Amino acid sequence: MSTNRLCAVLFDFDGVLINSMNVMRLAFEASHRDVYGEQGCDFDQLFTVYRRHLGKGFPEIMRALGLSVALHPHFKEHSRYLTRYVHLYGGVTTLLDSLSSTGWTMGIATGKDHARTCELLDHLQLRHHFRVVLGCDSVASPKPAPDMVEAFVAQTGAVLEQLVLVGDAPADLECARRARCRSVAALWGFTSAQELRNEQPEFMAESPAQLLAWLQQHREETA
């Protein structure tokens, strides 16, 4: 059996399976106001910098921005209130249904906390697809550290050489590189194609349908 064929996939969540950008911005702005009040702030510029760190855990993003991690509980509360505005990207349902029906081992590796990720998966009726759900608080060091890939392998018994991580942020692709697993960039997410190309993923998928075709092409041959 070839060890370079794929049979397991670890997905980032926001920007890959779900479109949550508007919710993220609204929740971050409200959280910033809760903690810092109405003091003058170029929020457009601040959120532009915030977006550069997507893929990392929220506390790590706050530290990178020089903001208090005290925003986190406020951010979670506002995000929960706005859950109904989060939606799946077109083609994601077909992608996950197809992978599940053909025996892929799947997981989530996200910068969201574990509890809120599970709540969203339940809300969107996706939880049954995933063997493992890893949030930023599930490991000692979230992305771009390799811990999430290592945790997925440990919990599922997946073979590293037969695993691919799919992400839309440099932190996702760096995580895969540091873990020495394969990676695919999701071009429909929150990061420009050039930024993702700089991370040298194995493949750059323009849509969930194109990702599905690539995964099927590289499927583990068990016969």
Asked if residue 111 and residue 141 are part of one domain, the reply reads: yes
Residue 196 neighbours by CB under 8 Å, 6+ apart: 168, 170, 173, 185, 187, 204
Asked if residue 99 and residue 67 are part of one domain, the reply reads: no
Q: Which domain holds residue 107?
A: 8-19+87-217
Asked if residue 54 and residue 29 are part of one domain, the reply reads: yes
Kindly state whether residue 222 falls inside one of the protein's structural domains. no
Residue 118 neighbours by CB under 8 Å, 6+ apart: 127, 133
Lowest mean pLDDT segment, chosen from 10-24, 46-60, 163-177, 198-212: 46-60
- The CATH number that applies at residue 147 is 3.40.50.1000
Is 1's pLDDT higher than 50? no
**Neighbour-count burial of 46, counting CB atoms closer than 10 A to its CB (0-12 exposed, 13-18 middle, 19+ buried):** middle
From first CA to last CA, the distance across the chain in angstroms is 9
Would you place residue 223 in the very low, low, confident or very high pLDDT band (cuts 50, 70, 90)? very low
Asked if residue 98 and residue 167 are part of one domain, the reply reads: yes
Percent of the chain with pLDDT over 70: 96
Q: Is residue 141 within 8 Å of 160, Cβ to Cβ? A: no
Question: Can you say whether residue 191 is alpha, beta or left, with left for phi > 0 and alpha for psi between -120 and 50 degrees?
Answer: beta
Asked if residue 157 and residue 170 are part of one domain, the reply reads: yes
- Say what the alpha-carbon torsion angle 93, 132, 164, 213 is, to the nearest 10 degrees: -20
Across the beta sheet with 182-186, the strand order is 132-134, 105-109, 8-11, 163-167, 182-186, 203-205
How many domains in the chain? 2
Asked if residue 94 and residue 201 are part of one domain, the reply reads: yes
Kindly state whether residue 1 falls inside one of the protein's structural domains. no
Asked if residue 118 and residue 32 are part of one domain, the reply reads: no
Kindly state whether residue 3 falls inside one of the protein's structural domains. no
Kindly state whether residue 223 falls inside one of the protein's structural domains. no
Tens-place pLDDT, residues 56-95? 889 999 999 999 999 999 999 999 999 999 999 999 999 9
Asked if residue 136 and residue 75 are part of one domain, the reply reads: no
The predicted structure's pLDDT at residue 126 = 98
CA 75 – CA 77 distance, rounded (Å):
5
Asked if residue 180 and residue 128 are part of one domain, the reply reads: yes
- End-of-domain residue from the set 67, 85, 103: 85
Is 2's pLDDT higher than 70? no
Token pair for 219: 């499927």
> In terms of Cα–Cα distance, which of 128, 122, 91 is closest to 17?
91
Would you place residue 39 in the very low, low, confident or very high pLDDT band (cuts 50, 70, 90)? confident
Is 55's pLDDT higher than 80? yes
Kindly state whether residue 55 falls inside one of the protein's structural domains. yes
Asked if residue 162 and residue 60 are part of one domain, the reply reads: no
Tens-place pLDDT, residues 106-148? 999 999 999 999 999 999 999 999 999 999 999 999 999 999 9
Token pair for 5: 């064929």
Asked if residue 91 and residue 77 are part of one domain, the reply reads: no
**Omega before 144 cis (within 30°)?**
yes
Query: CA neighbours within 13 Å on the CB side: how many for 92?
Result: 22
Asked if residue 106 and residue 201 are part of one domain, the reply reads: yes
> In terms of Cα–Cα distance, which of 54, 175, 166, 173 is closest to 106?
166
- The C-alpha angle 55, 56, 57, rounded to 5 degrees, equals 125
Q: What mean pLDDT value characterizes the chain?
A: 94
Is 222's pLDDT higher than 70? no
Kindly state whether residue 44 falls inside one of the protein's structural domains. yes
